[in-house]
Structure 1
Amino acid sequence: MIVHEWSSHADAPYDEGARFGAHWSAQLHAARDSYLRLFVQSGVSPESARAVADDCRAVIEEVAPEIAAEFAGVADGSGLSLPDVHLLTARTEILARMTPSMECSTVVHVPDDATPPRTLQTWDWHETLSNETVVRRLRSSSGARVVTFCEFGQPAKIGVNDRGLGLHFNILHHRTDGSQAGVPVHVLARMILDRASTVDEAVDLARSVPLAASSVLTVVAFDGTIPSAAAVEVSPAGVAVLPAPRGRAMVHTNHFLDETLAAGEYSPYETTSVPRYRCLTDAAELAAVIDDRERALAFGAIPDAPISVRARADQPEHLRWETKLTVAIDVAAGAIAFAAAAPADVAATAWRRVSVHDPAAADTPR
Structure 2
Amino acid sequence: MIVHEWFTETTSVVDRGAEFGARWSSQLQHARDDYLRLFIQSGVPEAAARRTAKECFDAVAALAPEIAEEYRGMARGSGLPLPDLHLLAARTEILAGVTTSQECSTIVHVPHDARAPHTLQTWDWHQTLSNETIVQQFRSSTGSRITTFCEFGQPAKIGVNEHGVGLHFNILHHESDGSRVGVPVHVLARMILDRARTLEDAVSIARSTPLAASTVLTVVSFDGTTPRAAAIEVSPVGIAVLPVDRGSTFAHTNHFLDAALAAGEHCPYETSSHPRYRCLTDAAALAEIADDRDRALAFGAIPAAPISVRPVPEEPEHLRWETKLTIALDVAAGAIAFAPAAPADIQQSQWRRVGAE
Instruction: Mark yes or no: TM-score above 0.5.
Output: yes
**SS of aligned partner of 1:68:** helix
Contact 2:11 2:141 in 1 (8 A): no
Q: What does residue range 179-190 of structure 1 map to in structure 2 within 5 Å?
A: 179-190=179-190
The alpha-carbon deviation at position 87 of structure 1 amounts to: 0.6
Q: What does residue range 42-121 of structure 1 map to in structure 2 within 5 Å?
A: 42-121=42-121
Matched residue, 1:247: 247
Letter of the aligned partner of 1:160 in structure 2? V
Q: TM-score, normalised by structure 1?
A: 0.97
Matched residue, 1:168: 168
Matched residue, 2:9: 9
Letter of the aligned partner of 1:41 in structure 2? Q
Task: Output the CA distance in 1 between the equivalents of 2:11 and 2:142.
Answer: 12
Matched residue, 1:256: 256
1:202 aligns with 2:202: yes
Matched residue, 1:22: 22
Q: What does residue range 31-50 of structure 1 map to in structure 2 within 5 Å?
A: 31-50=31-50
The percentage of aligned residue pairs carrying the same residue is 69
Matched residue, 2:312: 312
Contact 2:31 2:152 in 1 (8 A): yes
Q: TM-score, normalised by structure 2?
A: 0.99
Letter of the aligned partner of 2:57 in structure 1? R
The alpha-carbon deviation at position 11 of structure 1 amounts to: 2.7
Matched residue, 1:294: 294
Letter of the aligned partner of 1:265 in structure 2? E
Matched residue, 2:153: 153
Task: Output the CA distance in 2 between the equivalents of 1:79 and 1:129.
Answer: 22
Letter of the aligned partner of 1:12 in structure 2? S
Task: Output the CA distance in 1 between the equivalents of 2:52 and 2:67.
Answer: 18
Cα RMSD (Å): 0.5
Matched residue, 1:282: 282
Task: Output the CA distance in 2 between the equivalents of 1:142 and 1:26.
Answer: 29
The alpha-carbon deviation at position 10 of structure 1 amounts to: 2.7
| Number of aligned residues | 357
Structure 1, unmatched stretches of 5+, are 359-366
Task: Output the CA distance in 2 between the equivalents of 1:90 and 1:248.
Answer: 34
1:126 aligns with 2:130: no
Letter of the aligned partner of 1:124 in structure 2? D
The alpha-carbon deviation at position 339 of structure 1 amounts to: 0.4
Task: Output the CA distance in 2 between the equivalents of 1:197 and 1:3.
Answer: 27
Task: Output the CA distance in 2 between the equivalents of 1:155 and 1:219.
Answer: 17
**SS of aligned partner of 1:87:** helix
1:327-354 deviation line (CA, Å, top 9, x unaligned):
0000000000000000000011000000
Matched residue, 1:362: none
The alpha-carbon deviation at position 248 of structure 1 amounts to: 1.4
Matched residue, 1:235: 235
Matched residue, 1:225: 225
Matched residue, 1:340: 340
Structure 2, unmatched stretches of 5+, are none
Task: Output the CA distance in 2 between the equivalents of 1:219 and 1:11.
Answer: 26
Task: Output the CA distance in 2 between the equivalents of 1:343 and 1:154.
Answer: 24
The alpha-carbon deviation at position 8 of structure 1 amounts to: 1.7
